[in-house]
């Protein structure tokens, strides 16, 4: 990774590893139909309303931040995507699921996860949500009946999600967790739900209890 020269306007566009993989297949899998923008490099805490030179300089520190080159590893980019919202929106859309954690007590036990977007009418109704289970050793992650979006393509799980185990991600409007048996100890991981249209995400703690054996 390097820094771009900010004295000139530069468009630095490359294919990610996933893009190269699809291109190498030589099929219709490589077909760019959409794009997204993000502001991963921006630290908005640097906005200084007390700057001694006045309001024209509130954002001076932000404008001076370095820009990094495009990198091919899609796991480390596009964490904070920009979204387009109507001008009359006064509140940002918020993704919620009604619970902060899920506990499954035995293998095969199920839990439903139905995301909802507040502050925005019909938010994420078209492209739905991406559900990312950080460690698939804990549970199966399925699309719930009636929650499938036929045109959806599962994205890469970026590293704002703890993917220390074998992460899995799917796209839909509702999801289901099915616990896997844990013979040795409790298994704890996270389930992250991302709004594909409005941005924003929420993470839940998921715990699958150790199997209780009787003698």
Q: Do the beta carbons of residue 70 and residue 13 sit within 8 Å?
A: yes
pLDDT digits (tens, 9 = 90+) for 105-137: 999 999 999 999 998 888 888 889 999 998 999
pLDDT digits (tens, 9 = 90+) for 171-202: 999 999 999 999 999 999 999 998 888 888 89
- pLDDT value of position 145: 93
Q: Which residues of 185-202 are buried (b: 16+ CB within 10 A; e: fewer)?
A: eebebbbbbbbbbbbbbb
Query: At residue 92, does pLDDT exceed 80?
Result: yes
Domain ranges of the chain: 17-76, 94-208
Give 107's contacts (C-beta < 8 A, 6+ positions apart).
Answer: 179, 180, 181, 182, 208, 211
The pLDDT-based confidence of 155 (bands split at 50, 70, 90) is: low
pLDDT digits (tens, 9 = 90+) for 76-85: 777 777 877 7
**Mean pLDDT, the chain, integer:** 84
The predicted model scores a pTM of: 0.72
Q: Do the beta carbons of residue 66 and residue 43 sit within 8 Å?
A: no
> Other CB atoms closer than 10 Å to residue 140's CB: what's the count?
14
CATH of domain 94-208: 2.60.40.10
The residues pairing with 36 across neighbouring beta strands, listed in sequence order, are: none
Q: Do the beta carbons of residue 210 and residue 184 sit within 8 Å?
A: yes
User: Average of pLDDT values for 80-98?
Assistant: 84
- pLDDT value of position 205: 95
| Cα–Cα distance measured from residue 199 to residue 212, given in angstroms and rounded to the nearest whole number | 40
């Amino acid at each position: 990774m390097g820094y771009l020269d900010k004295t000139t306007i530069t468009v630095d566009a490359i294919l990610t590893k996933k893009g190269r993989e699809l291109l190498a297949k030589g099929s219709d899998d490589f077909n760019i139909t959409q794009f997204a923008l993000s502001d991963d490099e921006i630290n908005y805490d640097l906005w200084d309303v007390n700057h001694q030179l006045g309001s024209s300089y509130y954002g001076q520190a932000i404008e001076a931040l370095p820009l990094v080159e495009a990198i091919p590893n899609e796991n480390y980019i596009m964490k904070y995507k920009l979204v387009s919202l109507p001008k009359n929106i006064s509140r940002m859309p918020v993704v919620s699921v009604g619970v902060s954690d899920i506990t499954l007590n035995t293998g095969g036990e199920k839990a439903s996860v139905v995301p909802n977007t507040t502050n925005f009418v019909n938010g994420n109704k078209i492209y739905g949500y991406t559900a990312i289970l950080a460690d698939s050793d804990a549970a199966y992650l399925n699309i719930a009946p009636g929650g499938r979006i036929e045109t959806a393509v599962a994205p890469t799980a970026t590293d704002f999600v703890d993917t220390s185990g074998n992460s899995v991600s799917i796209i839909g409007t509702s999801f289901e967790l099915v616990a896997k048996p844990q013979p040795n100890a409790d298994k704890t991981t996270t389930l992250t739900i991302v709004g594909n249209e409005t941005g924003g995400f929420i993470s839940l703690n998921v715990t699958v209890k150790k199997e209780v054996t009787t003698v």
